Amino acid sequence: MVDILPKIQALFLLPPGIIIVIALLGFLIQIRWQLFGSLIVLASTGALLVLSLPLTGHQLMRGIESRFPPLRLPAATDTGALPGAIVILGGGRYTEAPEYGGGDSVNTLALERLRYGAWLHRLTGLPILVSGGRPYGEALSEAELMQASLASDFRVQVKWVENKSANTYENARYTKLMLAEAGVRRVYLVTHAAHMPRAVWAFENQGLSTVPAPMGFTTLNKEDRETLGYFPSAYGLRLSSNALRERLGLFWYQRKYGEAEPPAGTVPAPAR
């Protein structure tokens, strides 16, 4: 089962949660120190305004997404061993999707990763591993949903289904165990560009060499670049929050798992 406490803590450390907490603190301080409390409320409101601008969110996302540029296949294997597989990380589930009869399906993020993974598979011919578990005890793992989507939506078969992981670090841990049996020590790693730094860190920390294959880069359309990007919006705040969450997530992983040894565990079975 997933550890929910870090997720709750993140809600209060990232916008808009942290801004609301600071604003409430400012209101309480106003009871005794009106000027100081008013300055805190004003600063928190200003921070909310700035972080809600799409231009701000884009710049914050660009800072983390630029760490791993888009994959260029001719140059991807200039150094080191050739990758032996494509690993696609889960991005979440669409729970009880009514248009699909109330069953679970992959969500938008996962579908974007699967699309790119299928494209990469057709270019390279390499087998695919999908990774994602049942962190809340769902009937089907996210990896099984991904396997079904690849088969029905993209006509691509999956070779390995890693269905035990509850987070990115466990994606890396169980994937390493599964691919070690197949003699695969280097992989193309498919996930969103903003998530890639944390994913690469987790996989390399487990001793599995990666060729990053990031996708889903953040771009602004002409309207946002020239006009709407200068006005606060929920979209801008979402971009800023996602960028800060990935930075916080990488920091947390480095502190929590930095000295961890890859533990032994039961290897999930290959897909059938």
Residue 222 to residues 7, 55, 63, Cα–Cα distance (Å): 35, 12, 20
> pLDDT 10s per residue in the chain (272 long)?
556 677 666 656 666 767 777 777 776 777 678 777 788 777 888 888 889 899 999 999 999 999 999 999 865 555 567 899 999 999 999 999 999 999 999 999 999 999 999 999 999 999 999 999 999 999 999 999 999 999 999 999 999 999 999 999 999 999 999 999 999 999 999 999 999 999 999 999 999 999 999 999 999 988 888 888 888 888 998 999 999 999 999 999 999 988 554 444 444 444 44
Provide the whole-model pTM: 0.83
Domains in the chain, CATH or no CATH each:
5-63+222-250 (no CATH), 74-220 (3.40.50.620)
Q: Can you name the residues that pair with 105 across neighbouring β-strands?
A: 94
Give the tens place of pLDDT for each residue, 79-114: 567 899 999 999 999 999 999 999 999 999 999 999
Q: What is the dihedral of CA 142, 144, 145, 150, to 10 degrees?
A: 120
Backbone angles phi, psi at 255, to 5 degrees: -80, -40
Q: In what order do the strands lie in the sheet with 160-162?
A: 160-162, 128-131, 85-89, 186-192, 209-215
Q: Per-residue b/e over 246-264, b at no fewer than 16 CB within 10 Å?
A: bbbbbebbeeebeeeeeee
